[in-house]
Structure 1
Amino acid sequence: MLDVRRLHLLRTVAARGSITAAAQSMALTAGAVSQQLSALRSDVGVDLLRPDGRTVALTEAGRVLLEHADRIFAAVQEAESAVAAVRGMVGTVTTLAALPSTVARIVAPALTALGSQHPQLTVTCHVADQAQLRELTLGTVDVVLGQRYRHVPDIAPRGIDVSPLLDDPLLVVTAANRAGERPLALRELATHSLALPPPTTDCGQAILHACQLAGFTPTTRYVTADIAAQLTLARAGLATALIPQTAIDPATPGIRTAPIVDHPILRRLFAATRHTEAANPTTTAVVAALSSAARRDHATCLPPG
Structure 2
Amino acid sequence: MLDFRRLHMLRTVAARGSIAAAAQSLALSAGAVSQQLSALRRDVGVELLRPDGRTVALTEAGRVLLEHTDRILAAVQEAESALAAVKGTVGTTVTLAALPSTVSGIVGPALTALGSDHPQLVVTCLVTDQAQLRELTLGTVDVVLGQRYHHLPDATPRGVEVSPLLDDPLLVVTAADQGDGRPVALRDLATRSLAVPPPTTDCGQAILHAFRQAGFAPTSRYITADTGAQLTLARAGLATALVPRTAIDPATPGIRTAPIEDRPIMRQLFAATRHTETANPTTTAVIAALRTAARQGLPTRLPAT
Q: TM-score range by the shorter chain?
A: over 0.9
- Contact between 1:131 and 1:144, CA under 8 Å: does it hold in 2? no
Q: CA deviation at 1:225?
A: 0.5
For residues 146-186 of structure 1, give each alpha carbon's deviation from its aligned partner in whole angstroms, at most 9, with x where no partner exists: 00001111121111110000000000011111021110011
For residues 21-44 of structure 1, give each alpha carbon's deviation from its aligned partner in whole angstroms, at most 9, with x where no partner exists: 111111112122122212211221
Q: CA deviation at 1:88?
A: 1.0
* Equivalence for 1:51: 51
Which range moves more in the overlay, 129-138 or 209-218?
Answer: 129-138
Q: CA deviation at 1:122?
A: 1.1
SS at match of 2:249: coil
Note the aligned Cα RMSD (angstroms): 1.2
Q: CA deviation at 1:129?
A: 2.2
Q: CA deviation at 1:52?
A: 2.2
For residues 239-280 of structure 1, give each alpha carbon's deviation from its aligned partner in whole angstroms, at most 9, with x where no partner exists: 111000000000101111110011110010000011111111
Residues 1:239 and 2:239 are matched in the alignment:
yes
* Equivalence for 1:181: 181
* Equivalence for 1:137: 137
Q: Paired residues, what number?
A: 300
* Equivalence for 1:259: 259
* Equivalence for 1:303: none
Q: Could you list the runs of 4 or more consecutive aligned residues of structure 1 that deviate by over 3 angstroms after TM superposition? A: none
* Equivalence for 1:147: 147
Q: CA deviation at 1:201?
A: 0.4
* Equivalence for 2:303: none
* Equivalence for 1:23: 23
- Contact between 1:98 and 1:131, CA under 8 Å: does it hold in 2? no
Alpha-carbon distance between aligned partners in 1 of 2:131 and 2:33, rounded to the nearest angstrom: 25
Structure 1: segments with no counterpart, 5+ residues: 301-305
SS at match of 2:163: strand
Q: CA deviation at 1:95?
A: 0.9
Alpha-carbon distance between aligned partners in 2 of 1:205 and 1:299, rounded to the nearest angstrom: 28
For residues 68-99 of structure 1, give each alpha carbon's deviation from its aligned partner in whole angstroms, at most 9, with x where no partner exists: 11111111111111111111111111111101
* Equivalence for 1:212: 212
User: Which amino acid in 2 is paired with 1:295?
Assistant: R
SS at match of 1:133: helix
Structure 2: segments with no counterpart, 5+ residues: 301-305
SS at match of 2:277: coil
Alpha-carbon distance between aligned partners in 2 of 1:204 and 1:117, rounded to the nearest angstrom: 37
User: Which amino acid in 1 is paired with 2:8?
Assistant: H
Residues 1:33 and 2:25 are matched in the alignment:
no
* Equivalence for 1:167: 167
- Contact between 1:168 and 1:299, CA under 8 Å: does it hold in 2? no
What does 1:264-283 align with in structure 2 at a 5 Å threshold? 264-283=264-283
